[in-house]
Amino acid sequence: MEFLPIFVDIRLRPCLVVGGGEVAARKAELLLRANAAVTVVAPELCGSLVQDRDAGRISHRARVFQPSDLEGSALVIAATDDEALNGEVSGLCRKCAIPVNVVDAPELCSFIVPSIVDRSPVIVAVSSGGASPVLARIVRTKVETLLPASYGKLAALAEGFRERVKRRFSDLAQRRRFWEDVLQGPAAEMMLTGREQAARLAVEVALQRDTPSSLSVGEVYLVGAGPGDPDLLTFRALRLMQQADVVVYDRLVAPAILELAHRGAERIYVGKARCDHSLPQDEINQILVRLARQGKRVLRLKGGDPFIFGRGGEEADALAEKGIPFQIVPGVTAASGCASYAGIPLTHRDYAHSCVFVPGHLKDGGDLDWRALAQPRQTVVVYMGLHALESICQRLIGAGLSAETPAALVQDGTTQSQRVLIGDLASLPTRAAEFRMRPPSLLIIGEVVRLHERLAWFEGADTADGTALKAVG
Ligand code: SAH
């Protein structure tokens, strides 16, 4: 280890920045975030430093650096574009043992400034020892994605109970176990999602127990996995996938996404294709309740968004009824994903002012309001519409849409095997059969489909018959 990582208390301590440019401004900003008393010495200041000076956030010595500037400094950063001056500052500081950093010159530094992830009071500092600041920043970005923006709140939660937990568990190992359970369990999730009162209550309950075991009721995460491309997961989805004890998933969840779940997590497949309801919804609900009651963190992973034709509402309702804590994480729904990856804007000022999502078939065999769907300047997106494609197109024509209204089918949207078939209400059903379109496919109807020709950007696979896919139309 070439450098010892430490965190220095510089609150109200005099810190000197030599230089008045943008780089100096960034360093001054960092020092200000740690509540230092910052002085900048430079003949001229850049715009943001002028603002800081005028706001009284920094003091300014408007002249070139003099050795006497160092007097009383707790820490010095040299950020000028004058190498000789930077070297002089460094040499002087080292002589009087003042910690000094020279931007982009590790050999002149007695300390280096890490890349940081700020979840105050939790701070993660990353350094490459000066070898590659870009590498340090890349590592930092990875950490950023793993720590939710509100992560610092966990420290507040812990702080509030610290003394009581200490009294309750005098044994160090027990205490540690208690905190591990709290900070990785449902109480933490509640805190991170803004349910602070519930979080505190959960810790209270845990404190009352005889042994510091995990909280007896787990939690269910109803998570939208998006349409297929793992890159479209949210940060929260990814984080919950990595901490879940068990993953309950269905057919629409892409294997590449499932792979991102914690390796040790148990996986339970609950199926669901249109004609193959492997498990009735009631049974899925019961599985979720049972697992949560065993104290598990249950990830209910659903294709697209849980609240758009995903029965997320029914599952959440079953959990609410049994008093099981849950949270719902939105996902990119098939309409957004397929539309973007096929270059078909769902609304457009020239072509469509509204957009409706409908299912291709209804639970009770009921019928859609075809007149309401057959409106000008409206995009209609049909989920689960492949099976009844022909009748859907006919009904829309019957309700007043022109047979030439453009329509698209997007199969396996956002994945490497995406296929886009373009036609109109009259031609699409025949073409879909001809090109053997398979589920999952999304039907998009409306003038916006015309834009595909110019806006298609994503390279999908080939058509089933091997001809280049993209614009089959
Ligand atoms: N909750 C999901 C929808 C579930 S209904 C969501 O928000 O996306 C299942 C239907 O979604 C499928 O029949 C198909 O019409 C559509 N769908 C889901 N993923 C898709 C994909 N990758 N490509 C095309 N259609 C998809």
Instruction: With a cut of 80, say whether residue 469 has pLDDT above it.
Output: no
Confidence band of 464 (pLDDT split at 50, 70, 90): very low
Phi/psi at 166 (5° precision): -60, -45
Which candidate in 69, 181, 250, 305 is catalytic? 250
CA dihedral 273, 278, 284, 286 (to 10 degrees): 160
User: Which residue type, as a one-letter code, is found at position 247?
Assistant: V
Instruction: With a cut of 80, say whether residue 37 has pLDDT above it.
Output: yes
pLDDT, position 473: 47
**Using CA positions, which residue lies closest to atom 9 of ligand 1?**
384
User: Looking up tokens 């993209």, which residue turns up?
Assistant: 470
The reply to whether ligand 1 has any atom less than 6 angstroms from the CB of 310 is yes
Q: What domains lie within the chain, and their CATH numbers?
A: 14-113 (3.40.50.720), 165-207 (no CATH), 219-332 (3.40.1010.10), 335-455 (3.30.950.10)
pLDDT, position 470: 46
The reply to whether ligand 1 has any atom less than 6 angstroms from the CB of 383 is yes
**Residue of 277 and 222 predicted with greater confidence:** 222
**Residue of 307 and 272 predicted with greater confidence:** 307
Q: In what order do the strands lie in the sheet with 297-302?
A: 266-269, 246-249, 297-302, 219-224, 326-329
Pocket test for ligand 1, best of 274, 383, 414, 437 (most atoms within 8 A of CB): 383
Helix 312-321 × helix 281-293 angle, to 10°: 50
Which candidate in 272, 296, 302, 470 is catalytic? 272
Contact at 8 Å (CB) between 254 and 232? no
Contact at 8 Å (CB) between 450 and 406? yes
pLDDT, position 467: 43
Q: Which of 130-139, 266-275, 391-400 has the lowest mean pLDDT?
A: 266-275
312 CA closest ligand 1 atom index = 1
Phi/psi at 123 (5° precision): -125, 130
Please tell me whether residue 463 adopts helix, strand or coil conformation.
coil
Confidence band of 468 (pLDDT split at 50, 70, 90): very low
The reply to whether ligand 1 has any atom less than 6 angstroms from the CB of 389 is no
306 CA closest ligand 1 atom index = 1
Give pLDDT tens digits for 296-334: 899 999 999 999 999 999 999 999 999 999 999 999 999
The reply to whether ligand 1 has any atom less than 6 angstroms from the CB of 330 is no
Confidence band of 145 (pLDDT split at 50, 70, 90): confident
Centre of ligand 1 to C-alpha 285, Å, is 21
Centre of ligand 1 to C-alpha 410, Å, is 10
| Neighbour count for residue 87 (Cβ, 10 Å) | 15
pLDDT, position 463: 47
The reply to whether ligand 1 has any atom less than 6 angstroms from the CB of 439 is yes
226 CA closest ligand 1 atom index = 8
| Neighbour count for residue 408 (Cβ, 10 Å) | 28
pLDDT, position 10: 97
On the 0-12 / 13-18 / 19+ scale of CB atoms within 10 A, 464 is middle
Contact at 8 Å (CB) between 451 and 350? no
Please tell me whether residue 225 adopts helix, strand or coil conformation.
coil
Confidence band of 277 (pLDDT split at 50, 70, 90): low
CA-wise closest residue to 311 among 283, 353, 339, 340: 283
Instruction: With a cut of 60, say whether residue 208 has pLDDT above it.
Output: yes
pLDDT, position 273: 54
pLDDT, position 465: 41
State pTM to two decimals. Answer: 0.77
Centre of ligand 1 to C-alpha 146, Å, is 27
The reply to whether ligand 1 has any atom less than 6 angstroms from the CB of 188 is no
- Residues in a beta bridge with 327: 221
Phi-psi region of 302 (alpha: psi -120 to 50; beta: other; left: phi over 0): beta
Instruction: With a cut of 60, say whether residue 90 has pLDDT above it.
Output: yes
What are 348's two structure tokens?
Answer: 């457009």
227 CA closest ligand 1 atom index = 22
Instruction: Indicate if 250 belongs to the active site.
Output: yes
Please tell me whether residue 1 adopts helix, strand or coil conformation.
coil
Please tell me whether residue 159 adopts helix, strand or coil conformation.
helix
User: Looking up tokens 């700020």, which residue turns up?
Assistant: 118
The reply to whether ligand 1 has any atom less than 6 angstroms from the CB of 303 is yes
Give pLDDT tens digits for 426-452: 999 999 999 999 999 999 999 999 999
CA-wise closest residue to 109 among 179, 45, 27: 27
The dihedral through the CA atoms of 314, 320, 325, 331 has a sign that is positive
Could you give the C-alpha distances from 462 to 109, 386, 435, 457, 470, in angstroms and in order?
A: 56, 19, 11, 15, 7
Distance CA(395)–CA(371), nearest Å, equals 9
Q: How far is CA 368 from the centre of its chain?
A: 35
Centre of ligand 1 to C-alpha 378, Å, is 20
Instruction: With a cut of 50, say whether residue 192 has pLDDT above it.
Output: yes
**Residue of 231 and 185 predicted with greater confidence:** 231
What percentage of the chain reaches a pLDDT higher than 90? 77
Centre of ligand 1 to C-alpha 61, Å, is 63
The reply to whether ligand 1 has any atom less than 6 angstroms from the CB of 250 is no
Cβ within 8 Å of residue 146, ≥6 positions away: 235, 238, 239, 242
CA dihedral 247, 252, 254, 257 (to 10 degrees): -40
Pocket test for ligand 1, best of 412, 420, 442 (most atoms within 8 A of CB): 442
Instruction: With a cut of 50, say whether residue 342 has pLDDT above it.
Output: yes
